[in-house]
Structure 1
Amino acid sequence: MMILAMLLQSAPLVADPSKIRPAESPGTWVSNADYPPSAQRAGIEGVVGFKLSVDRAGKVTSCTVTASSGSSILDDKTCSLMMERAKFLPGYDAKGRPFGGEYSSRFRWSIMKNAPIIPFVGTVGEPYLFTMRIEVSAEGAITKCETLSPPGIRENTGPCRDILASKPIKPYVDAAGRPVPKVLIIRHELEIRDQ
């Protein structure tokens, strides 16, 4: 089962010194590894709308869920991650003084259904690592997928075959709001344990 977690931007990021803005791409604030295990096991998905209050130093001081996913697990995890990881550049008034503000967005928690099971051979107590590299065009199309590890899995087979067949995603944007291509590295770790 592959998990997709993505931040949905309702408006492009614009470099405007009179407004607060993320210090880095909001897509870096959450990774697939952050999906709450209990929600994943239960197949819970959803979109969480949230609002962040940001002080004049760019630190998030509060997170409010503005539209629930229908799951308190996903809602709570979203705000927890935003409080921990979201960083902002302050806005500046006409006299050059920094100020804070609010930032609103949405976050989608999604489990990719019917993803192929990755074949593996492992030893009890030794982790099995699987790493993929995915190229996304400025338009959001997935243009290339390759398995970096373990060695021996052919390009565009297994999980990559399904990823390449998927619909385009919302394009990533730079600080000026222009769509830009990106490379995604997805790492999965599996550990086999005795019962």
Structure 2
Amino acid sequence: MPKCMISLSIILLAQAATVDSAAPVAPPPGPPVIASPFPLPVQKGAARPMDYPGNWTTTADYPVAALRANEQGTSAFSVIVDKAGRVKECRITSSSGSAPLDEATCRLVTQRARFFPAVDEQNNPIEGTYANRIRWVLPAVTPPEPGTALTTFIVELDGSISDCSVNLTGATARQLSKLGNTCASTARMDPYKGPDGKPVRKRVTMRIEVMTEAIAAPAPSAP
């Protein structure tokens, strides 16, 4: 089985355990929280966020590797902001203790954060700095409900993926309903090979079925 297929199964299972799009009103612990959500006091050489820093990360951004390892913590970061207000460089100044969380912190801040650039005495834009922290909190775990997730796609001769679709049925569909990006995120894998060693096209069907059953409570232990 190609490695990407295994990764796809892991993502499906992780989402089933952590995402419940039908959950009422009260959100789970998270998303990751920017420790100082509002613009910091203006300082010489300091850039200021254009938008609410708490929007730079969401629960869906939680790295799968960190979820599987049950990792959480606070990643402190510092960025250099160019004259156009974009992040030029990001570094972790205090680790969360999790490499995936630290990596995600700088990657997401670099991609999403936009700033009013720092200015000099003549009010001309200059390179500036900004520092903050992201507190990563493990999302609440929702038990999977009965249902199926059927994923189909074609692995082309060059390893690209085509005709990809995810069909969700049963109660678990509401937990897996945010998997619409699965096909887009699995864009390529090693092609299948025929007996002569040449690439061949194959259609792949993966079915994940969730079943639950009531069981009796364990008997009380003897005194």
Shorter-normalised TM range: 0.5 to 0.7
- CA 1:63–1:123 in structure 2 vs 1: closer, same or farther (change >3 Å)? closer
Q: Does 1:57 align with 2:84?
A: yes
For the residues of structure 1 that align with 2:111 and 2:83, how far apart are their CA atoms? Answer: 17
Residue aligned with 1:51, SS: strand
Q: Is the CA contact (8 Å cut-off) linking 2:37 and 2:52 kept in structure 1? A: no
Q: Deviations over 1:129-160 (max 9, x none)?
A: 459xxxxxxxxxxxxxxxxxxxxxxxxxxxxx
Distance 1:43 1:106, change over 3 A: same
Give the number of the structure whose residues are more often helix, by fraction: 2
Give the 3 Å change call, closer, same or farther, for CA 17–92 of structure 1 in structure 2: farther
How many residues are aligned here? Answer: 139
Give the Å deviation of 1:53. 0.7
Cα shift at 1:116: 3.4
Aligned-residue RMSD, C-alpha: 3.1
- Of residues 125, 130, 145, the one that matches 1:119 is 145
Equivalent-residue separation in structure 1 for 2:54 and 2:64 (angstroms): 20
- Structure 1, unpaired ranges of 5+: 132-186
- AA paired with 2:117? P
Percent identity between the aligned chains? 30
Structure 1 residues 103 and 14: CA distance shift in structure 2, 3 A: closer
Q: Alpha-carbon deviation of 1:108?
A: 1.4
Name the structure 2 match of 1:97: 124
Is the 8 Å Cα contact of residues 129 and 189 (structure 1) preserved in structure 2?
Answer: no
For residues 40-87 of structure 1, give each alpha carbon's deviation from its aligned partner in whole angstroms, at most 9, with x where no partner exists. 011111110000110111010111101101111211121111111111
Which residue of 39, 43, 67 corresponds with 1:13?
Answer: 39
Bigger strand fraction:
1
Q: Confirm or deny that 1:38 pairs with 2:65.
A: yes
Which residue pairs with 1:194 in the alignment?
207
The one-letter amino acid of 1:33's match is A
TM-score, normalised to structure 2's length? 0.52
What do the CA deviations read for 1:4-61 (whole angstroms, capped 9, x no partner)? 3323233732585964211111122112121111110111111100001101110101
How far off is 1:106 after superposition? 0.6
Find the residue that maps to 1:79 and give its secondary structure. Answer: helix
For 1:164-183, list aligned pairs within 5 A: none
Q: Which residue of 2 aligns with 1:77?
A: 104
Q: Distance in 1 between matches of 2:144 and 2:207?
A: 20
Contact 1:6 1:30 in 2 (8 A): yes
Instruction: Name the SS for the 1:48 alignment partner.
Output: strand
| 3-state SS of 1:4 partner | coil
CA contact (8 A) 2:51 2:114 kept: yes
TM-score (norm 1): 0.59
Q: Quick one: which amino acid aligns to residue 124 of structure 1? A: L
Show the counterpart of 1:172. none
Alignment partners' CA distance in 1, 2:42 and 2:76: 23
CA contact (8 A) 2:76 2:95 kept: yes
Q: What is residue 93 of structure 2 aligned with on the other side?
A: 66
**Which is further off, 97-106 or 121-130?**
121-130
Distance change (3 Å), C-alpha of 1:54 and 1:29:
same
